[in-house]
Each structure stands twice: as structure tokens, then as C-alpha cells.
Structure 1
Amino acid sequence: MPLSMLFGMLAVMLILSAFFSGSETSLMTLNRYRLKHLVKLKHKGAIKAQALLQRPDRLLGLILLGNNFVNNFASSIATVIAIKLYADEESSIAIAAAILTIVMLICSEVTPKTLAALKPELLAFPAAWIYTPLLKIFYPIVWFVNLFVNLLLKIVRVDVKKNHQHTLNKDELKTIISEAETLMSHRYQKMLMSILDLETATVEDIMTPRNEIVGIDLETSLESIIEHIKHSPHTRLPVYKKSIDRVVGFLHLRKVLLLLNMDDFDKQTIISLLVKPSFIPESTPVHAQMMRFKDEKIRIGLVVDEYGDVQGLVTMDDLLQEIVGELITEDVTARKQSDGSYLVDANITIRELNRVMQWSLPTEGPKTLNGLIIEFMETIPDAGISIKLHDYPLEIIKRDEHAVKLVRFLPQK
């Protein structure tokens, strides 16, 4: 056989080796979620690629069968060429093996695999058209090889028929969303993150604390109640007697404002307009409470603990804000200063602070920043004290007898 034909055969083997190596990498690195999207769009190459990837053991068996065959055949041809060119057979074979190794490494391994890793669809979809009939032709050989492969895998308790690589857990999905900066705005990224967190959030995490509930005390004078109604920033107010634990109902201000100027307006008029209060266990999941508000057509409720004591108040707006965040309200609880620090209201919930600042303060214990600081210090710290709270340096700016009111988070170095 002339040398020209041998070199031609060797070149063909190198090209085939490059095809097998590159197609293996491209098929294995295909974005599975983009692949599913293309399948829904009836992309024929994607359909064939997905069918092959349903059983990766068979696909890899076929690819490696072809790759090993062409590599061994290329080595045999290189040996024949070396013997024809050089009289010293032993040294010529060693030189040919070294040269062939370098050429195959560059042309048939690194280059095609790098290209396939960067642009997998460029080679994967055409290769799927080739591998589909080849798998049928060489199926007996592939089946025989995979018989022993699957037996070995079963020893280590791996079932090739159960392919779980397409599933994502919540943390992995969060990573995908956080990296999709070029596909969506930062606001919508935060919204999707909040939706994923709804599963673990409870009404206790987002409620207005008991000490911040604004309501109407029926034990106060009628003039004081009227003044309160006129200047209230809220549309619904809880009505109680002396203590929020003795709530009578909720008053919708739109119903009562028209009656304020009536001569016979009194406390009994207010009581007649009240809506029966709704009580919510503090451990109720946020998503479950949203469905309850929707089903019962209510928008406000009181959060109670296991003893029935009122711990806070939650509204439909609070639940929606947990999802859409700053899209519906302008954040005033964390204000950036000229020196890069942040003044933060200590009544802010840990979940909201993490969302606004993109931090990772623990949410398992206290629900507010004030509670987290007190738990960490085991006392109510005085103004001017600086601490490092879970790797975040801060300074206490303001406090009262019962709680921390304002803190300054210092820029992290």
C-alpha cells in the first residue's frame, strides 16, 4: 500500500477521532433546560439528542467504541508508515508513537473538545443524526459492553435507568436566577428569589410587631377616636378595649369617614361598622395565608401565639410585599450615607434586611434586627457601642429603655 494512501487513511482516522471526542463533550455539556425548550419548539436535532441522552450509558458506549477503534487503527497505520520510512524498526515505532500522541492530543482531543464545550449545539445536533442510526447498527455490541458496565455500576448501587440530572433543588434554582443578570432586571431577580423563599416564610417573619400596631381604643374619648380616624395613614384599623388582646373587630375607615359629621355619631356607630377579626397562628406559612385571604375575601388579620396572645398584625399588602418588595413600596428602613454606611431602623425584619442589602443574616432565631442584636449581646446595648454581628460591623446609634431603635452598618473592608 503506497504511503500516500496510508497518510490519507491516517488523516481520516484523526478526523473521525476528533468527531467522536468533540461530539461526546458537546452532547454531555448541552444545557438540558435549553434542550427541553428546543424540543418543545420541534427542533429535530434537539429531539434526537434528547432521545440519545435518555440512556447515556448506551450513547457513551457507542462513542467510546468508535473512538477506541479509530485511535487503535490510527496507531497501527502510524506503525506501518514508520516501518516503511525508517529501517530501524524499534526506534521508528517509538518516534511514530510520540508524534502520533502529540498530533492526536492537539487535533483530536483538546481542540475539538474545547470547541464542543464552548459551542455544544454546533456539534451535538449534527452528531445526534449520525449516532441515532449507528446505535441501531451496533446495538448488539453496545448492549454486550453495557451489560458488564451496568453490572459493575450496580455493585456501587448506581442505576443507569434512573437519570436524575435534570432535577434542580431550590438552592440551585436560586443560583440560576442570580446569574441571569443579562436576561432580567435586578428587581425581577429579587421578586423570583422572594417567591422561592415563600415556602419557608411564616406570617411571624413578616408581621407588624405588637408594639407597632396602630388601632382604636374604645376606652378613650370619642373626640380622640375621631381625631385618630381623620389622621390615620391606614385604611383598616383594629378596634379594641384597653389592650390589643381584647380586640373587638376591624374598622374600614372608608365606611366611617362619611359618618363622622353626623350629630348622632358615637362609639356604638363605630361598633356597628366593625368586621369580625381574623386570627392567624404565628407559624402559618405565608403562601397558605395568601390563599386564606383570597378564599375568605379578607385583607387583614391578627397573629397570635400558642396561648392566644396577639403578637402582631399582617395584611394582604404585607404578603404581597414579601414577593414584590420595593416594587410597591419605597424602602426607608435602610438609608445609605455619604461615607458608604447604612442607617437602619432596628425594627426591620431580618428577612427584609437580607433582601434589601443582599446579606445572609440568620433567620432561624429572632425575627427583627433589634432581636438579633439583643440575642447576640445578651443585653440591650447602649448608644455608641460597636459590634460585629455575624461578620457585619455596626454601631448602635439610638435606643430606649426596651429596645435598640437605630443602628449604623459600617462599610465592610
Structure 2
Amino acid sequence: MPTTQIIVLIVLIILSAFFSGAETALMSINKLKLNALVKQKKKGAETLFRIKQDTHRLIITILIGNNLVNIGAASLATIVFTNMFGSAGIGIATGVMTFFILIFGEITPKTFASQNAVRISLAVARPVEILSYILYPFVWFFGLIARLISKIVIPRGEEKISEEELRTLVTMGRAEGILEKETAEIMHNVLEFRDTKVVEVMTPENEMETVDGSKKLKDVIDFVAKSPYSRHPVYLEDRDKIIGILDVDDVLKYAKDQKLNVKVKSIIRKPYFVPESKEIDDLLTEFESRKIPMAIVVDEYGDVEGLVTMDDILEEIVGDIFDKSKRDTKYIKKTKGEWLKVDARATLEDLNRSLKLGLKSEHYNTIGGYVEHKLQRIPRKGEKVNLKNITIEVEKVTDQKIKSLKILKK
């Protein structure tokens, strides 16, 4: 076998390996990784970004190059082996070249490229771009044929990305450093949003700050003024009979006009009731269309289970991310000695995170509800709940509701 032909044959197999490896590496680079490489100003990243903008042209360029060198190698081997072995050389050439191209032109380079996709992609981007210009007439021609066949054989449909694919992209974006932690968490929360029920985000009935509708406005104005909330459910006879919503704007209006002797029930707004099984994305739409910020949550029997506000829903997306430290500061305060003063509205999640308490409850989200559940009643001031690692003491109770507690870690 002439030395020149052997050298040419080796070069063709090397080129086959180049195209096979380039195809695997370039197709392995997703947009998130590509943007990260450009952002990091890696050498070859700009070129890689350019050729990845038209993957159709990129694939055709590589396939044309790969097929040309494989056909060239097979043809040259056939000529060489035919000269050496006569007609039997055709079969020998086919067997030998199949083995060499499969091992050295396909399996080995593709395996290596899949394990070193970034490094190889950056290295081959420029040569492949140059080749795409050289082969442009052929790339355009074969691309046109491929598009025509695709239109006939494969009906064009709208490309959609599944929820799982989107979750994967967000996770990859966070891992690659493209997405900030907070941004990734918000995107994950949005994906979880549609599956969240009202009962999961509502304020439980026993934690609602309600107003007795039979009282006069002058009797509740101090309570409303000190409350952090701008709206309060109004009840008659018992807290399970919600008849309306008292809005602080209405309170201010009547106070300004010196009409403080009116009954609370006479100035309330109509309540909006929703089932606890309603999904919060649907409720958000209803809030926006009806222009209301609050709803009373009821169970299948119509009994009041709690309330849910626009803020509760929006907090599912951003609240847990940006408000954690604020809630810790607001709800947990140090006192003299070893005791900690805790607002009864502090969630078990907040306390567990800040104080490492390890509290668990399937029934209540807040420390106030947790204590009531432990005692099975509304406690009195000074009552204590002794647990393995902490002691919880009720500090303040008003209107049959725990307002604040003290916690002592043992």
C-alpha cells in the first residue's frame, strides 16, 4: 500500500473523528451554558454563539463534511484493497473501513466530546464557521430540500416547552450561575403556583383578627388603629358567622365625620367566600377581575376556615424570599435574661429556622396556634407548655386569642 494513500486515509479518518466529535459537543451546549461562556468571555465563545444561532445550518455543514470524508475514506480504501486483492478487496475494504470509522470516527470521538463538550465546542467553533462559508451553496441547497420534505412529511406545529423542562432549565440556570438564587426561587415558586390550594396559604380561623359587628365604631376604633391589618372580618354572635369586611378606609371616613356611634355592621363591605380547595391562581384572577383584596375561606359545609388576601397569594411567589429576615426581626425579640418574646403570629418555619427549635405540627402554622393545639383550649396569661428543649409561656391574651409568648431554651 503506497505511503501517500495511507497518510491520506489516516487524515480522512481524523477528519471523520473531528466532525463526529464536533457534532456531539456543539449539540450538547444549551443556551444557558452558551450565555454563561459569553458572559465569562471565554476564547471562542463569541464564534460559538454565532454558529449556534442557526443550528439547522450548523448540522447540515457538519453532516456534509462528515459524509464527504467518510465517502472519501471508503472510496480510497476500496481502490487500495482492490489493487492488492482484486475483486475480493471490495469486501475487505468494507469490513476494515467499517471497523475503523465506527471505532475511530464515531464511538471514540463522540464519547470524548460528550465528556468535554465545552472545551471541544470552543475549539472547533471557528473551523466549523469557516467551513460553513465554504460549503454555503451546498448547505443552502440541502437545507432547502430538508425544509420542503419536512413541510410535506411533518406538519408544522407550535413548539411548546413542558413544565418539567422549564424546571430543569431553571435548575441548570442556577447551577451555571446564570440565574441568581432569588430569581431561581421565584421561578420555581411560579411553577408551583398553579398547584397550590387556598387552604395552604390562608390565615386559619383562630388566627383571624375579627371585629364584633354588634359593637359601635367607637368601641373598635382603637383596636383597628393599632392593628397591622387594613381589613377585618366582621362577625355576629360567634366568629364562625362572618357577615362582612370592615375596611380601615371606611373607619377613617366615619371617624372624620364624627360618626362613631354607628354600628360596625352598618358600614361593612360584602364578604367574598371561596372554597378551601380553590387553586390560588384562579383566586388571583378573581381578585383582579372583582377588584377585591380579601376572601373568606369556607369548607364543604360552609363553615369558616380562615381568610386569604392578595398579599398571601403574592407572598407565595416572592414573600418567602425577601421577607424572611424581616419577619424574624418583627416577630422575635430578645428580652432581659434568657427569654425571647415571640409574636403569636410567628410561623413555626420562622422559629425553627431562627432558633433551631424543631417544632412540628400538621394542624397549625403559627406558634400561637401550636400552643392552643397543645393545650386544647385558649390559654390564660402565664400558662406554660413544657417541651423537650424549650418552655413556652403565654405572655398576653386578648379577645380569646393569644397575642404574644415567651420562649426559654433549655
Q: How high is the TM-score relative to the length of structure 2?
A: 0.60
Q: Bigger CA drift: 43-52 or 98-107?
A: 98-107
Instruction: Report how far residue 29 of structure 1 moved.
Output: 1.2
1:304 aligns with 2:298: yes
Matches within 5 A, 1:183-332: 183-219=178-214, 224-260=219-255, 264-268=259-263, 270-325=264-319, 326-327=321-322, 330-332=326-328
Establish whether residue 13 from structure 1 lines up as the match of residue 7 from structure 2: no
When residues 336 and 174 of structure 1 are mapped into structure 2, their CA distance, relative to the original with a 3 A threshold, is farther
Partner of 1:175: 171
> What SS does structure 2 have at the residue aligned with 1:25?
helix
Shift of 1:193: 1.8
SS in 1 for 2:327: coil
Amino acid at match of 1:368: N
The verdict on how the C-alpha distance between 1:65 and 1:334 changes in structure 2, with shifts beyond 3 A counting, is farther
Deviation of residue 293 (structure 1)?
0.7
Q: 1:346 to 1:113 in 2, by over 3 A?
A: same
Which of 374, 383, 386 matches 2:386? Answer: 383
**Secondary structure at 1:307 match in 2:** coil
Evaluate the alpha carbon distance shift between residue 263 and residue 105 of structure 1 in structure 2; reply closer, same or farther with a 3 A threshold: closer
Alpha-carbon distance between aligned partners in 2 of 1:66 and 1:383, rounded to the nearest angstrom: 81
Contact 2:287 2:293 in 1 (8 A): yes
Over 3 Å counting, the alpha-carbon distance change for 1:99 and 1:305 in structure 2 is closer
Q: Deviations over 1:221-240 (max 9, x none)?
A: 76542331232221111121
Q: 1:247 to 1:197 in 2, by over 3 A?
A: same
Show structure 2 runs of 5+ residues with no match: 39-48, 83-98, 146-153, 335-340, 378-384, 395-400
Return the alpha-carbon distance in structure 2 between the equivalents of residues 68 and 344 of structure 1: 75
Q: 1:253 to 1:243 in 2, by over 3 A?
A: same
| Residues 178 and 189 in structure 1, CA contact (< 8 A), matched pair in contact too | yes
Equivalent pair of 2:174/2:184 in contact (CA under 8 Å)? yes
Residue in 1 aligned with 2:119? 118
**SS at structure 1 position matched to 2:220:** helix
Paired residues of 1:24 and 1:63 also in contact (CA < 8 A): no
The alignment of Structure 1 onto Structure 2 pairs a total of residues equal to 336
Contact 1:346 1:368 in 2 (8 A): no
Q: Which amino acid aligns with 1:133?
A: F
Pick closer, same or farther for the CA change 1:334–1:165 going to 2, 3 Å.
farther
- CA displacement at 1:216 relative to structure 2: 1.0
Question: Which stretch shifts more, 5-14 or 192-201?
Answer: 5-14
* Aligned position for 1:25: 24
Contact 2:25 2:113 in 1 (8 A): no
Verify the 8 A CA contact 1:35 1:50 in the aligned structure 2. no
* Distance of aligned partners of 1:103 and 1:188 in 2 relative to their CA distance in 1, 3 Å threshold: closer
Read off the aligned partner of 1:209 and give its amino acid letter. P
Following the alignment from structure 2 to structure 1, what is the Cα–Cα distance between the partners of residues 369 and 61?
54
Query: 1:248 aligns to what SS in structure 2?
Result: strand
Q: Say what the alpha-carbon RMSD is for the aligned residues.
A: 5.6
Question: What CA distance in whole angstroms lies between the structure 1 residues aligned with 2:62 and 2:333?
Answer: 56
CA positional deviation for 1:198: 0.6
SS at match of 1:250: strand
Measured in 2, the distance between the counterparts of 1:263 and 1:108 equals 86
Structure 1 residue 191: Cα displacement: 1.7
Per the TM alignment, residue 277 of structure 1 is displaced from its structure 2 partner at its CA by: 0.7
Q: 1:106 to 1:290 in 2, by over 3 A?
A: closer
Change (3 A) 1:408 1:16: farther
User: Partners of 1:7 and 1:138 in 2: how far apart?
Assistant: 34
How many angstroms does 1:316 deviate by?
1.1
Q: Give me the whole-angstrom Cα distance separating, in 2, the residues matched to 1:369 and 1:253.
A: 25
CA distance in 1 between partners of 2:136 and 2:366 (Å): 59
The alignment-based identity, stated in percent, is 26
**Structure 1 alignment gaps of length 5 or more:** 81-97, 141-158, 338-342, 386-394
Q: Is the 8 A contact 2:332 2:343 kept in 1?
A: no
- Write the deviation string for residues 54-111 of structure 1: whole angstroms up to 9, x where unpaired: xxxx99987875675566678789999xxxxxxxxxxxxxxxxx99999989996676
Relative to the length of structure 1, the TM-score reads 0.60
1-structure distance, mates of 2:107, 2:80: 16
